[in-house]
Every structure is written in C-alpha cells, then in structure tokens.
Structure 1
C-alpha cells in the first residue's frame, strides 16, 4: 500500500511541475505514473550503486545531496526512454527530485513515519532479551 501511495504522490508531483514549469512536459497522468514507476525502479537498481560510489567519494558528508543528484540523473535517463515525458535541462530535473523528496517526506510524516524512527531508538534486541529474562544486567557488564 505504501508503494502505491508513493507512486501516486510522485506522479502527482510530476504532473504539477509539468503545469508549473515550462521545461517539464508530460502527456497524461498515466505517463507520469509510468515515469514515477521507472524512476523508482532505476533508483532501486542502478541508483543504489551510484549512491554508494558517490557517498564513498564524498565521505558520507553530503548524503542527501548525493541522493538528489542520483535521482536527477535517473529522471534524465527516464526522459530519454519515455517518449511522452520531456525534461529540458538539469535544473528542472533537480526541481523534480527536490519536490518529490519533499512530498514523499511530508506524506511519510503525515502517515506516522515517526513510529518507524522510534523503533530504531529502542534498546537492541540482546538487551531486551536479557531484560526480559533477568539473567544478566547488561548495563553493568558492558564491554568498552
């Protein structure tokens, strides 16, 4: 369900930017849906490799910027593959990448994405196990 929602939001952003920016051309919402799917597919397959290489070069200091650059590259790749979708230049591709990232972040936040991060801040599973069984107080026997 989350994948479909993200796909619809991404397609909506592409259509809205096509109306707002003269450098972005998309024929219909179905074309925008197909473009959003391809961008997601390429980001999941090729994009992770590009992100990994660029993050190693930048020493993880610019991870968000690297992600936007890779997404803009994927948008330009999809631009060449889909006939009914055209992005004239790199700045509109960056605008689509930024707007999509903001929209997806807002949707994730509105759907309660904080719960996902709250789980990350909880105790590690080993500490939870020992706390439940009361076999060992992990806090006093930590190894530095």
Structure 2
C-alpha cells in the first residue's frame, strides 16, 4: 500500500512541477507516474554508476556533482519518454528541485516519509 501511495505522490509532484516550471511538460497523470518511475530507475542504475566514478569530485564539491547527475537523469528520461519533456538543463534543474520539495511536503502530509 505504501508503494502505491509513493507512486501517487510522485505523480502529483511531477504534475505540479511540470505545471509551474516553464519548459517542463507532462501529458497526463500516468505519464507523470511513469516518468517518476523511470527517473528513479535511472538514478538507481546509471546514476549510481556515475556517482561511484565521480566520488572524489563529489566529495570535493560537497555533493554538487550528485545533484548534476540527478539533473542529467531527468534529461535522460525526457529524451527517452514521449509523454514527458524538459527543454534544457536549467528547466531540468528547477524541475528536480521543485519535484523534491513537493515530494517532501506531500510525503510528510501522507506519511510516506515515516521510518519504521
């Protein structure tokens, strides 16, 4: 049940962020949910490999490289998915920031951020 709530929260967060950020578009709620799943998968696979190889640089920049990798994963999903698009690096950056903030707020409201 918690997984389904997480998917809904992610879909709503992506829909709201795409509505607010110019240059970010999503065609519907299910496209937003799919984009969320694909961004999570890209971060878990490709993002993890990139973070491993850039670990010294990531330490030197206090995690900024990790944030840039997350932005690149948003851009990657935008390129491979037809119902979700981000027009450039800065749109993807603001989209990633706003999505994370919205997910944090909604997760706190609906209890998906609880540690058990």
Q: Which has the larger radius of gyration?
A: 1
Distance 1:9 1:112 in 2: 9
Answer whether contact 2:5 2:112 (CA < 8 A) is retained: no
8 Å CA contact retained: 2:17, 2:95: yes
- How far has the Cα of 1:73 moved from its partner? 0.6
* 1:77–1:12 CA distance, 2 compared to 1 (3 A): same
Query: Could you tell me which residue of structure 2 aligns to residue 54 of structure 1?
Result: 54
**C-alpha displacement at 1:72, in angstroms?**
0.9
- Structure 2 residue aligned with 1:89: 88
Alpha carbons of structure 1 residues 33 and 112: separation in structure 2 relative to 1, 3 Å: closer
Which protein, 1 or 2, shows the higher relative CO under an 8 Å CA cutoff with sep ≥ 6? Answer: 2
Which residue of 2 is the match for residue 9 of structure 1?
9
Unaligned ranges ≥5, structure 1: 117-144
Considering only aligned residues, what root-mean-square deviation do their CA atoms show, in Å? 2.4
- Report the CA distance between 1:98 and its aligned residue: 1.1
Other-structure match for 1:69: 68
TM-score computed with the length of structure 1 as normaliser? 0.66
Question: 3-state DSSP class of the match of 1:86?
Answer: strand
Asked if 2 retains the 8 angstrom alpha-carbon contact of 1:11 and 1:29, the reply is: yes
Q: 1:62 to 1:4 in 2, by over 3 A?
A: farther
Mapped to 2, the partners of 1:49 and 1:27 lie a distance apart of 30
Shift of 1:86: 1.2
Q: Secondary structure at the match of 1:7?
A: helix
State TM-score, norm by structure 2: 0.80
Distance in 2 separating the partners of 1:5 and 1:67:
26
How many angstroms does 1:102 deviate by?
Answer: 2.2
8 Å contact from structure 2 (residues 12, 32) kept in 1: yes
- Where do 5+ consecutive residues of structure 2 fail to align? none
SS at match of 1:10: helix
